[in-house]
Amino acid sequence: MRGMLDWLDNRTGYRALLQGVLYERIPGGARWRYIWGSTLVFAMVVQLITGVVLWSAYSANAQGAWESVWFIQNQMTGGWLLRGIHHYMAQVTIVLLVLHLMQVLIDGAYRAPREVNFWFGLILLQLVLGLSLTGYLLPWDQKGYWATKVATSIASMTPVVGPGLQQLLVGGSEYGHLTLTRFFVLHAGILPAAVALLIVGHIYLFRRHGVTTPKSAREKPDGYFWPEQVLKDGVASLIVMATVLGLVLWSGGAHLGAPADPAEPYAAARPEWYFLFLFQWLKYFPAGWEVIGAQVIPGLVLALVAAMPIIGGWKYGHRFNVGVATALLAGIVMLTWQARVQDSADPEFVAAQAEAEVLAERSSELAAALSGIPVEGGLAMLRADPLTQGPRIFEANCSQCHRFEGHDGLGGQPADPPSASDLAGFGTRAWLAGLLDPERVATDEYFGGTEHVNGRMSRFVQRGVARFSPEVRSDLAKVIMAVSAEGSLPAQVEQDAVQQTEIEEGRALISGEEINCTRCHTFRDQTEGDVGPVLTGWGSRDWMLGMLHDPTEERFYGEDNDRMPSFGAEKILTEDEMGLVVDWLRGDWVRQDSQGH
């Protein structure tokens, strides 16, 4: 063994190298205050390990990015932990960098001959911020997409070269596949390589100059990097890792929003918290001053920080530097705090955040329920989901008159009171029972706001049904079952199958003497006068689509139609949109426990 190691040393000289690395002399001995650089190296190594493995499952294209991150997060064994560590370590790295920088400034460790190393550190800080910025887009979710749009917009404001710069970053005029391939090569290739090179340079220069020792260390005996300082660094790294793991477990892992959609607003668009101060900063620059706020002032501040080693050599220069750095940090903290306070006090932002969360969860649930994301991608999947799209279409097109559980579909309250029925549960037995309830038929829930409030149906319920004997009432319950069964509502089919006998009885009673729906409605082949909407297939998908298409058709309201637009015939809505709103009203959407419809 000994012989082999000797041979290796003879051929490589590894012992001298190891000696140099491990037995660096530390004047005054190992100290806790020297841990910061090592914890940062540790953080970078963690990012390298987790990043490379994330890379092994990540696909950088607009139809694979969200999809593959969803897979990593929800399907891959340990994927959520891997991504969680990568995500939170990135944030902890920023904190460590700021602490490291502040310590260097306060200790005056930037002064001659350490100027170049200070500049290396400043470049490293910017590279790490670049890694954060590029990494934020890679999941291609709404949050990353819209936040990064702001970042590339700011790049486009650069005088002269801005538009070209933006095109090069984005890989074209619009966000797409090439935006991801380009951000990915920055995030996983160019920036990490630059960071690695600079860290080597940073450590080399640090070793060349040695640590900056505090006064108190000067009486103490010297120590060595190995093992005293390594132990301290190791413990510090362990604390950093424990913090990150704590954050991962506390948060349940890194967040993944709904797939990026250029056509859907994301009112909760915010950058990662450590960029919030810049975001807030931009609010204070009126029209025409964007470049000053977004580029010139940050550039000047950075130049000032870069000049600190020079300034530090002047009389009072060090005090000036520490003062400026403290003021900057205080300003950043204040702007961040302001951004947070303003957002949490803004009900629209809070609502947007809640909505974004619902969409994120639904996207993930859909992908799981479909046992994988359709090849068209996560966005197409979400756009074809009635539970997501139905309420939006309802709010935009139906809620001027109708309500859904008393609201506009999205939980809001339109200015005008309802003037048509509440469509929540349309087609169910409960909905029909309400319509046939003398107390309720003329309320806002049903015909209250419509012309039908004084129509024949309303009169029949208020005068006829009100006087039904208990026996006829129990017959009516069967009629309700029969008519409701026409809809084959997903939530009711099982119950309908069980109560087939009652439903059969109900069908016979539809044209019975007392109840006699077919005096005005058509049911199957029975009709006396075709006045009201047809009851055959009432509440079914086809029936509802037909009603939406053109309520003035003879089989629906005909001439008695009250204001209901012909959404299909007048092409107000597309076939797809009508299908989505109908499926939503019918409660017909993909659920986690079922596979497809």
Partner 1 sequence: MSEDSLEESRAETEPTLSDGLDRVVEKERRDFLVGVSAVAAGTLAMLAPIGAAVVSLLDPLRREKLSSEMVLVARTSAIPEDGSPRKFTVTADRTDAWAAYDDSPVGAVYLRRSGDEVRALNVVCPHAGCFVGVAKDNSRFSCPCHLSSFDLDGAVDDPTSPSPRDMDTLDVEVRNGDEVWVRFQNFLPGRAEKTPV
- Residue 525: which of 516, 533, 534 has the closest Cα? 534
Tokens of 436: 């046939």
Asked if residue 201 binds partner 1 (CB under 8 A), the reply is no
What is the rounded CA–CA span in Å between residue 402 and residue 417?
9
Touching partner 1, residues 290-319 (CB under 8 A) = 290-291, 294
Name the minimum Å distance from CB 379 to partner 1: 8
Which stretch in 150-158, 309-317, 425-433, 513-521 sits in contact with partner 1 by CB under 8 A?
A: 150-158
User: Is the distance from CB of 50 to CB of 42 less than 8 angstroms?
Assistant: no
What is the rounded CA–CA span in Å between residue 10 and residue 25?
25
What is the rounded CA–CA span in Å between residue 294 and residue 173?
21
Name the minimum Å distance from CB 425 to partner 1: 27
- 574: how many CB neighbours lie within 10 A of its CB? 12
Q: Measured from the CB atom, is 224 or 349 closer to partner 1?
A: 349
Name the minimum Å distance from CB 212 to partner 1: 40
Asked if residue 160 binds partner 1 (CB under 8 A), the reply is no
Q: Measured from the CB atom, is 203 or 282 closer to partner 1?
A: 282
The CA distances from residue 542 to 1, 391, 487, 586, 590, in Å, are 83, 19, 9, 11, 19
- Residue 38: which of 230, 251, 280, 248 has the closest Cα? 230
Name the minimum Å distance from CB 293 to partner 1: 8
Ramachandran quadrant class, 490 (left: phi over 0; alpha: psi -120 to 50; beta: rest): alpha
E strand intervals along 443-514 = none
Asked if residue 285 binds partner 1 (CB under 8 A), the reply is yes
Name the minimum Å distance from CB 373 to partner 1: 16
What is the rounded CA–CA span in Å between residue 237 and residue 38?
8
Name the minimum Å distance from CB 282 to partner 1: 5
Instruction: Say which amino acid occupies 377.
Output: G
Which stretch in 1-9, 176-184, 233-241, 442-450 sits in contact with partner 1 by CB under 8 A?
A: 176-184
Q: Measured from the CB atom, is 339 or 483 closer to partner 1?
A: 339
Asked if residue 335 binds partner 1 (CB under 8 A), the reply is no
Asked if residue 176 binds partner 1 (CB under 8 A), the reply is yes
Touching partner 1, residues 411-470 (CB under 8 A) = 412, 415
Tokens of 186: 């920055």
What is the rounded CA–CA span in Å between residue 271 and residue 382?
24
Q: Measured from the CB atom, is 22 or 292 closer to partner 1?
A: 292
What is the rounded CA–CA span in Å between residue 594 and residue 11?
66
Do you find a cis peptide bond into 259, omega within 30 degrees of 0? no
Q: Measured from the CB atom, is 163 or 210 closer to partner 1?
A: 163
Asked if residue 153 binds partner 1 (CB under 8 A), the reply is yes
Asked if residue 171 binds partner 1 (CB under 8 A), the reply is yes
User: Is the distance from CB of 259 to CB of 63 less than 8 angstroms?
Assistant: no
Determine which residue in the list 18, 52, 95, 168 makes contact with partner 1, applying CB under 8 A. 168
User: Is the distance from CB of 171 to CB of 182 less than 8 angstroms?
Assistant: yes
Q: Measured from the CB atom, is 24 or 357 closer to partner 1?
A: 357
- 52: helix, coil or strand? helix
- Residue 388: which of 348, 408, 358 has the closest Cα? 358
- 259: helix, coil or strand? strand
Which stretch in 148-156, 457-465, 532-540, 585-593 sits in contact with partner 1 by CB under 8 A?
A: 148-156
Q: Measured from the CB atom, is 343 or 475 closer to partner 1?
A: 343
Asked if residue 170 binds partner 1 (CB under 8 A), the reply is yes
Which stretch in 24-32, 78-86, 158-166, 530-538 sits in contact with partner 1 by CB under 8 A?
A: 158-166
Asked if residue 573 binds partner 1 (CB under 8 A), the reply is yes
Q: Measured from the CB atom, is 340 or 383 closer to partner 1?
A: 383
| Nearby residues of 12 by Cβ (< 8 Å), 6 or more positions away | none
| Stretch 60-89: interaction string toward partner 1, x if CB under 8 A | --xx--------------------------
User: Is the distance from CB of 93 to CB of 43 less than 8 angstroms?
Assistant: yes
Q: 386-397 and 575-585 helices cross at what angle (nearest 10)?
A: 110
Asked if residue 332 binds partner 1 (CB under 8 A), the reply is no
Asked if residue 189 binds partner 1 (CB under 8 A), the reply is no
Instruction: Say which amino acid occupies 260.
Output: A
SS3 for 312-344 is CCCCCHHHHHHHHHHHHHHHHHHHHHHHHHHHH
Radius of gyration of the chain (CA): 34
Binding residues for partner 1, rule CB under 8 A, total 57
| Stretch 107-146: interaction string toward partner 1, x if CB under 8 A | ---------------------------------------x
| Stretch 230-269: interaction string toward partner 1, x if CB under 8 A | -------------------------------xxxxxxxxx
Determine which residue in the list 41, 194, 282, 370 makes contact with partner 1, applying CB under 8 A. 282
Determine which residue in the list 163, 189, 374, 417 makes contact with partner 1, applying CB under 8 A. 163
Q: Measured from the CB atom, is 171 or 537 closer to partner 1?
A: 171
The CA distances from residue 251 to 172, 339, 475, in Å, are 36, 22, 55
Scan for tokens 């000797």, then name that residue: 6
Asked if residue 581 binds partner 1 (CB under 8 A), the reply is no
| Stretch 377-416: interaction string toward partner 1, x if CB under 8 A | --x---x------------xx--------------x--x-
Asked if residue 173 binds partner 1 (CB under 8 A), the reply is yes
Binding site for partner 1 (CB under 8 A): 62-63, 146, 149-150, 152-154, 156-157, 162-164, 166-168, 170-174, 176-178, 261-269, 279, 282-283, 285-288, 290-291, 294, 348-349, 352, 379, 383, 396-397, 412, 415, 565, 570-573
